[in-house]
A and B are shown apart, each in its own frame.
Chain A
Amino acid sequence: MQVQSFFEPSASISSPAPDPRAQTMSIATTAFSADVLNIDAAAVSAGIEGKIREIVLHRLNRKGVVIAISGGIDSSVVAALCFRALGTARVLGLMLPEADSSPDSLHFANLLARSLGLRTHVEDIAGILNAAGCYQRRDDAIRKVIPEYTAAYKCKIVLPDQVNSSAYPIFSVIVESPLGERTKARLTLDSYLGVVAATNFKQRTRKMMEYYYADLFNYAVAGTPNRLEFDQGFFVKNGDGAADLKPIAHLYKTQVYQLAAYFGIPEEIQKRPPTTDTYPLDQSQEEFYFPLPYERMDLCLYAKNHGLQPEEVAPLIELTTEQVARVYRVIDATRNATRYLHRGPVLCQEVPEVSDDVV
């Protein structure tokens, strides 16, 4: 694949030439393979860059874009797309570490910023979170199921295996004592809600900071969900789910990686395993949310979206038909459970003068 420099933004906002593969993709449902997720990175990138210019400068009437960069693949690709679309003077990268953040996140975010020549600000949000009681409230909630837990422990929450059993996706908490001893306990309803409500302070505080800088510079805020995250509601409402534009919400994560390779995003970032970076113990996205690693989850989601039966998908991703059927059911159940997250404020009566169509 050709690697293109960040410093070669696409020349115009005109639509890119249609990807000849797109036609093949739509009709080649009988020969399902991982190739269905292959994209023409140059064309896809140019298309999104044009959209970013149109949305930010014309529809939203803002001078640039703020992006929280975590050192992960999604925010790195969104930052690169915005940089290519708008140029360095109109993009601000924010690094927003807190007490539980891995030092790796700041390292990788800095790496990205240097490779792009991105303007950045660092805001440590631990003080705000502490003042809001984020850590204290979370720890209190964990103590409801593990009384000996203290702030000196590390913790994460995990789901049961959703591929090999039909167990409900009910979270457990894993804590690690200062001596390295691990304890696992299933969360009760009130402890679960307490942990989630408290940790959601993190995403919402980050968003508050993003909008501070957006207001300061008259910028828009770019969100960074990929299609898997967007579809499955893997975000905090009015936290990382809030944004003025979401440039890669239609791209499967596999495709986000293809853009990253095309842009020449630093290798370390491309090879870094996806992480939530929300709890002190390392936590993969699979144990926290998705039933499968992203490569196979993408293929299941794509196949389901295109009406393919589990038996057509199973051989490709080395699962049984029953396992794929379970993943399909999880996708549907998660869509239903997270519909509320996508929904904006619901009015009791329409106000047509300020509806989206009018503005």
Chain B
Amino acid sequence: MALKDELRQFVTDSFMYGKPYEGFADSDSFIERGIMDSTAVMELVAYLEKRYRIALQDKDLIPDNLDSVNGLARFVKSRLQSTYAGARDAGPIVLRA
């Protein structure tokens, strides 16, 4: 599954509880759309760290990186490309954001 599809799938499964995704764009803010609060961000961080074997520092926890599917894909892609070990261990991810 492509990176963006996988991230979108995680967000819809974890925070939208089966609500329709129609009208939700990859550039839309999770917070402004009311689907994510700070507890959800913690859940997202745990997912990213486990799924992609990347460590998120405090400075990474900003809306630019985590508040939209586009932002997430950009962030994860940059991390995977900068960390060979992470990319190697993260399993079959297609870097086609």
Question: B-contacting residues of A (Cβ < 8 Å)?
Answer: 160, 165-170, 172, 186-190, 192-193, 333, 336-337
Cβ contact within 8 Å between A337 and B42: no
Q: Are A333 and B58 also in contact (CB < 8 A) when A170-B38, A192-B42 are?
A: no
Interface centre among A169, A172, A186, A189 (most CB of B within 10 A): A189
Query: In terms of DSSP, what is the predominant structure of the interface of chain B?
Result: helix
- Count of B interface residues, CB-CB < 8 Å: 17
Q: Which of A167, A188, A193 is the one whose CB lies under 8 Å from B61?
A: A167
Cβ contact within 8 Å between A170 and B46: no
Cβ contact within 8 Å between A336 and B34: yes
User: What would be 18 A-B contacts, judged by CB atoms less than 8 Å apart?
Assistant: A166-B62, A166-B64, A167-B58, A167-B62, A168-B38, A168-B63, A170-B42, A170-B45, A187-B42, A189-B39, A189-B42, A189-B43, A189-B46, A190-B46, A333-B31, A336-B37, A337-B37, A337-B38
The reply to whether the CB of B41 lies closer than 8 angstroms to some CB of chain A is yes
Residues of B within 8 A of A167 (CB): 58-59, 61-62
The reply to whether the CB of B66 lies closer than 8 angstroms to some CB of chain A is yes
The 7 closest A-B pairs by CB, nearest first: A337-B37, A189-B42, A169-B38, A168-B41, A168-B61, A189-B46, A189-B43
Cβ contact within 8 Å between A333 and B63: no
Contact residues of B between 12 and 48, Cβ < 8 Å to A:
31, 34, 37-39, 41-43, 45-46
Interface centre among A165, A166, A168, A190 (most CB of B within 10 A): A168
Residues of B within 8 A of A172 (CB): 58
Residues of A within 8 A of B46 (CB): 188-190
Cβ contact within 8 Å between A166 and B42: no
